Structure 1
Amino acid sequence: MRIRRARLIERLRVVVDGLEHLVGGLGTALLALLALAWTLLVAAASVLGVGLLLAPTVPRITRAVADRERARLTRWGPPVVGPPPLPATTREALRDPAVRRETAWMTGHGTIGLLLGAIGISMPVYAVEYASFPLWFRALAPEEGGPGFVVWRIDGFADAAVVWAIGVVFAVLTVVLCPPLARLQALPGRRLLAPPDGVDLNLRVAELTATRAAALDAHAVELRRIERSLHDGTQNRLVALNVMIGAARRAQQRNPAAVADILDRAQEATEQALAELRSVVRGILPPVLDDRGLSGALAGLAGSCPVPCTLEVDVPGRCAVSVEATAYFVVAEALTNVAKHSGATSARVAVRRAGDRLLLSVTDDGKGGADETGGSGLGGIRQRVAAYDGRFVMSSPVGGPTRMDVELPCGS
């Protein structure tokens, strides 16, 4: 029963994601249609000799709309990297292969992509309208028929039930067709708006070089943190312990009555040193990850957060230890920020696995305005995520809410 429920929830999530993609694609398709109309208008005016002054706007508008689609596709999947800047002259821009590919995409997305988006969005609308018809059909005159293409006479509940059945068909079509329609709508953009293979490889090498530098920086920062914790905490406790043991040895002959008090303080210093040492060790790799797994470790963080926090974890199996540790530290730092800086009354942590990616989001209803440069630890989170070739997106408008999205590669 639990497996069926999980599958149903996952299927509904896929359908909702498909609808979101179709809505976003419909928006860029409308922009592409307007850009296509402008291109045809300028081309027609140029034949008459009056549109040459407007010709430079065509590649710029095309590039702007294509960049919107690249940003949309990047939010919903693998990044789509843009080409180099437009050439200086209009003649060179029109000869640029990237501009030609963008023009081809604009033509297809502004027509076929617009049609696919309209179909995808219409199906759930029709499903709701037709399926709810038995609730309000009596408000219409029988000769008016029903919604949409239902033009026949509705004489009673039996006729309304037929309309309801049509709504069920639309609901099934929504569940079955929305995800593939979204993928089909995005396919031309992923093929035509991505740079050539050689360019993409060079950009990927540069990205991995930056990622490697971030990993080395994160490692150096972590070593400095451990060294500082040991030097400022544990080492001082051990030095004090050594001094008290020496004092106890000297007092054994001079003032035996003071030995017990010195040993009590030495034992207290030992316990504090051990506690600080355990804290440092837990900071390197929390033992709770081995004992309870990622779900149990995050449940502990959510339960100990001063701000009421709901947790949703859907991660079948185990990820790599380093990935789980990174996810743990990201959530720990994020909830610390929520408690200290956000002024929120509630927070939500959602973690799920999608293929070879671990998706993590932390949201709160606080005042927003989080700044990576403000010393809130967000820069460290971004650096730690980048060290694993992950993706970090932060949205925190003034007034809230604040949302942090993290993607980490976790293998297949």
Structure 2
Amino acid sequence: MALQETAARGRITDEGAGFKDIVVQTVGAARSAIGQLATGATTAIAALFVLLWLALTAVASLVGVGLLMWPAALKALHTVADRERVRLSRYGSVIFAPDASPTRLRLAVVDPTTRREVHWLVRHATLGLLFGVIGLLLPLLAVRDTIFPLVWPFGPKDATATSIGLGVAHSWPQAVAVSLLGVGWTAIILGLGPGMARLQGAPGRRLLTPGADTDLSLRVTELTATRAAALDAHATELRRIERSLHDGSQNRLVTVTVLLGAARRMLTRDPGSVDELLERAQSAAEQALAELRTVSRSILPPVLADRGLAGALSGLAAECAVPCQIDVELPERCAASVEATAYFVVAEALTNVAKHSGASKATVTARTRGGRLHLIIHDDGRGGADEEGGSGLTGIRRRVAAHDGTLRVTSPVGGPTTFEVDLPSGSSA
């Protein structure tokens, strides 16, 4: 009976923890969506301005004056499109822009990229702006109506009851009913916010990505960039290994050599002091051996060959200073280089969680589907992860890009933080 009660309490605890995780993830996704909608509103306003500029230029061209305005207008078009590419790249896969977009009218008319940008401009300046305004207004409406019962007694008697201008509250029950509308706004944010963010960004991801006619040249550019990033990451890794060997193991071995030389010279003069020197030399040799093991493991952890990626990730979770849960489903082995990249990505992410996030727990999920390896590292910390803040995100992105993978980081201020990594598995039996 006691065992049944204990099991029941365990199930209730697990269900409570699972429900809490769902709530935290839902709130985090909604906060990220509001941020995406707000930043999308800024590019939508710029898109509306450029759209009006292009329309004015086209009208002015009928009398010849507008022909002189096209270079500046087209440059503005390419600039706002590039801003949207950068914005969308922060929230998903990187969108590459062409090396040089035409600013001459004759070339722009036949340029497929420019035509796609104009199509995107119309969509983003209308629907994108609408979604952005909704994303900015919904939190204000939710706060206004939710706290209405608190401010209603201090307002004028004919105060509007709701944020949409319906009804007048004359009693406490009516004022409390207004707060239910605020709860409804909040539910809309939680339920529809991520979908609106995806709808706002969908035209850009479809129209600002390379078309079929420019895909080859941009693909070459993309591969050149990722190859350069991979070589840079490789050179950085070699410098790190060189520093570790030079500053650590080499110095220890020099100490061992010096101590052994001193012990040999003292063997005839003061044999009683030789034991102390030999003990120090042995200690230095053991430290050098430990550092060599650490360096060799950082090159390619032996645990990957011995236990596979699943076992290696379990080891990282066990060593993490923050309680970490592992959910791994890898029916087949990935390529060795992919497993090494996944291992280092998770290791760096968990190191960031322990050092910077202030989280109480973290989760690592790994799946292979359709020849791709999907990783999700989630923590309930304070968020605010920034690639320019020295958190190692740049190195993670370079490692992932070297395999033609993608990295998506969602980390609003206040948390939570989620790393989503997608890599080609290069599966081998």
Query: Does the TM-score normalized on the shorter chain lie above 0.5?
Result: yes
The correspondence for 2:26, drawn from 11, 18, 32, is 11
Instruction: Mark the runs of 5 or more structure 2 residues left unpaired by the alignment.
Output: 1-15, 304-310, 331-338, 367-373, 409-417
Identify which of 249, 257, 275 aligns with 2:287: 275
Q: Name the structure 2 match of 1:285.
A: 297
User: How has the CA–CA distance of structure 1 residues 179 and 146 changed in structure 2, closer, same or farther, with 3 Å as cutoff?
Assistant: same
Which of 136, 144, 147 pairs up with 2:162? 147
1:264 counterpart (276, 282, 285)? 276
Superimposed CA distance per residue, residues 177-224 of structure 1 (whole angstroms, 9 cap, x where no aligned partner): 100000000000011111123344323322343244235424543553
Matched, 1:214 2:232: yes
- Going from structure 1 to structure 2, the CA distance change for 1:349 and 1:210 (only over 3 Å counts) comes to farther
Counterpart residue type for residue 72 of structure 1: R
Which residue of 2 is the match for residue 224 of structure 1?
242
Q: Which amino acid aligns with 1:107?
A: V
Q: 1:262 to 1:191 in 2, by over 3 A?
A: same
> Which residue of the other structure, out of 37, 62, 82, is the alignment partner of 2:97?
82
Q: Which of 180-189 and 158-167 deviates more?
A: 158-167
SS of 2:401's equivalent in the other structure is coil
Cα shift at 1:90: 2.6
State the match for 2:190 in structure 1: 175
Q: Deviations over 1:55-102 (max 9, x none)?
A: 221211100110110110111111111112123633112321111111
Cα 1:408–1:262 shift into 2, 3 Å: farther
- What are the ranges of 5 or more consecutive residues in structure 1 without an aligned counterpart? 300-310, 336-345, 372-377, 394-404
Choose from 316, 332, 335 the match for 1:294: 316
Distance in 1 (CA, whole Å) between partners of 2:236 and 2:378 is 20
1:59 is aligned to 2:74: yes
1:83/1:7 CA distance change after superposition, 3 Å? same
Deviation of the 1:148 alpha carbon: 2.8
Q: CA RMSD in A?
A: 4.1
2:160 touches 2:169 (CA, 8 Å); kept in 1?
Answer: yes
**Shift of residue 334 of structure 1?**
12
- Corresponding residue of 1:130: 145
Q: Is the 1:237–1:270 Cα contact (8 Å) retained in structure 2?
A: no
Distance 1:82 1:354 in 2: 32
**1:98 is matched with which residue?**
113
State the 1:244 CA deviation.
5.2
Once the 2 structures are TM-superposed, how far is the Cα of residue 43 of structure 1 from its aligned partner?
A: 1.1
Amino acid across the alignment from 1:131: T
Give the deviation of 1:242 after TM superposition.
4.3
- Check conservation: 2:259, 2:280, Cα contact below 8 A: no
Structure 1 CA distance for aligned equivalents of residues 407 and 185 of structure 2: 37
2-side partners of 1:123 and 1:363: how far apart?
24
Cα displacement string for residues 211-246 of structure 1 (whole angstroms, at most 9, x for unaligned residues) = 442354245435534553576324324434543564
CA separation of 1:237/1:37 partners in 2, compared to 1, >3 Å: closer, same or farther? Answer: same
What residue number does 2:254 align with? 236
Q: 1:5 to 1:410 in 2, by over 3 A?
A: farther
What residue in structure 2 maps to residue 32 of structure 1? 47
- Kept after mapping to 1: 8 A contact 2:77/2:117: yes
Query: Residue 408 and residue 354 in structure 1: after superposition, are their counterparts in 2 closer, same or farther (change >3 A)?
Result: same
Q: Report if the CA contact (8 A) 2:131-2:200 is conserved.
A: yes
SS at match of 1:101: helix
TM-score scaled by structure 2?
A: 0.71
User: One-letter code of the match for 1:265?
Assistant: L
Supply the distance in 1 between the matched residues of 2:98 and 2:313 (Cα, whole angstroms): 48
Structure 2 equivalent of residue 389 of structure 1 = 401
Q: 1:212 to 1:168 in 2, by over 3 A?
A: closer
Sequence identity (%) = 24
Q: Does 1:112 align with 2:124?
A: no
In structure 1, the residue matched to 2:223 is 205
* Residue equivalent to 1:303: none
1:21 aligns with one of 26, 31, 36? 36
Deviation at 1:44, TM superposition (A): 1.2
Q: CA deviation at 1:363?
A: 10
- Ranked by relative contact order (alpha carbons within 8 Å, sequence separation 6 or more), the top structure is 2
